[in-house]
Amino acid sequence: MVYTVTFNPSLDYIVEVKSFELGMTNRTSYEHMLPGGKGINVSIVLNNLEFDTTAFGFVAGFTGKQICDMVSEYGINTDFIQVDNGFSRINMKIKNIDGTEINGMGPQISEDNLHSLVSKIDRLSSGDVLVLAGSIPSCISDDIYRRIMGRLQGRDVKIIVDATSRLLLNVLEYHPFLIKPNQHELGDIFGVKLESKEEVIPYARKLQDMGAVNVLISMGGKGAVLIDEHGNVYEADAPKGELKNSVGAGDSMVAGFMAGYLQTGNYEDAFRMGVATGSASAFSENLATKEEIIEAAKKARCHDFIMALPDGYDTVIGEGGSSLSGGEKQRISIARAMLKDAPIVILDEATASIDPENEHLIQEAISALTHGKTIITIAHRLATIENADQILVIDGGTVAQRGTHKELLQQEGTYKKFIQIREQAEGWRIQ
């Protein structure tokens, strides 16, 4: 079982204000509310990936009740401790003002409350995973993570710590299985500014020397770096895409890493899974769900062959999809485009070098993709473009003709000649 601890959960109130003016009444054009807190985010993503989790933490007041209700709605086991003094915080996140956030304080947590949490954690045993993530209220000492880890020594519990400054440094003597600072947090620890993966690596090794087993550094749009317990260094660039929501991307990376490791026991697989999961959340309005992934796969006509793979959606397909056919890789690429939900999609020879059956399936996938989107297709095959709203014929590097398929057939020119040559070729027979 994976257990997560969130000391200071929140209701994340995410809003967008089209034209924000200081000193004036501003109205939202978009708003959404989610349960927040790093540990809760990890539980949600793990649950989406079909791993059972239990969420620990402290809640208070009417906001605390709402947090409990919303987390439970995800199907996650909750075992929060009710605090009498205060109420759980509301964090406002304004999307279109440089990621501006206004975070609440949270309730007052007593020693009795802490004792209740420690009693729950004391029940963990061999094979369990504990995630300690996020900040703590000012009323709690910054050695609390260290105290918890000290109680679990010798029980074969894998502990992940995603925290900053003293909270992180205090636990290193107990050899956490994984720590995940981002590049800025890593730089703050050592008093340096870190920009590149090359600059990050030696300081990540220093954290290993201080006691961490595995060190995962998230770097936002620059990707990530992992140094595993054997000293191997893995680097990954972030997939390209439109950043829609940075909230929870690092937590999703932690969840993806643990999901990958628990499935395969392989650090490289875990790292790739972590990067993919973190990116999926960054490109989505909310934390990515498995249902969204499966729905996209169905529309892209690749669900059936994925289910026929040895481990279904959990199958490791190799570098660059080496175990898949060309048509299968193209259909998965289309599914990824759907999942990203971009308003503009560019397809460059989407049906090149594939058999007629796969061409038909890909055309169906493209049709499912086009609703409400702008599709720009570069193609030599007629079937790919004959239903387009507008066809541009390029001849000698310039636009020679434009129009629909029917309109161009009525014009003398390159397009009509191409169709005539194609029809003649279809009648050819080898004697």
Catalytic residue numbers read 251
Q: Are 82 and 63 in contact (CB under 8 A)?
A: no
Q: How far is CA 14 from CA 32, 36, 44, 277, 356, in A?
A: 5, 11, 18, 21, 47
The structure tokens listed for 329 are 């890789």
DSSP string, 211-269: T-SEEEEE-GGG-EEEE-TTS-EEEEPPPP------TTHHHHHHHHHHHHHHHH--HHH
The runs of H, that is alpha helices, within 321-410 are 326-340, 356-369, 382-385, 405-409
Q: Are 188 and 165 in contact (CB under 8 A)?
A: yes
The torsion defined by the Cα of 319, 321, 322 and 324, in degrees rounded to 10, comes to 160
The runs of H, that is alpha helices, within 126-244 are 144-151, 165-169, 183-190, 197-209
Q: Are 200 and 222 in contact (CB under 8 A)?
A: no
**DSSP for residue 182:** B
Residue 281 half-sphere exposure toward CB, CA atoms < 13 A: 25
Q: How far is CA 379 from CA 32, 171, 417, 419, in A?
A: 40, 57, 16, 14
- Alpha-carbon span 367 to 354, nearest angstrom: 18
The helix or strand, by DSSP H or E, that contains position 127, with its residue range, turns out to be none
**DSSP for residue 326:** H
β-strand 77-82 against 53-59: which pairing, if any?
A: parallel
Question: Which residues are 391's β-sheet partners?
Answer: 403
Dihedral angle sign, alpha carbons of residues 421, 426, 427, 430: positive
Q: Which residues are within 8 A (CB) of 175 and not within 5 positions of it... i.e. 6 or more apart?
A: 211, 212, 213
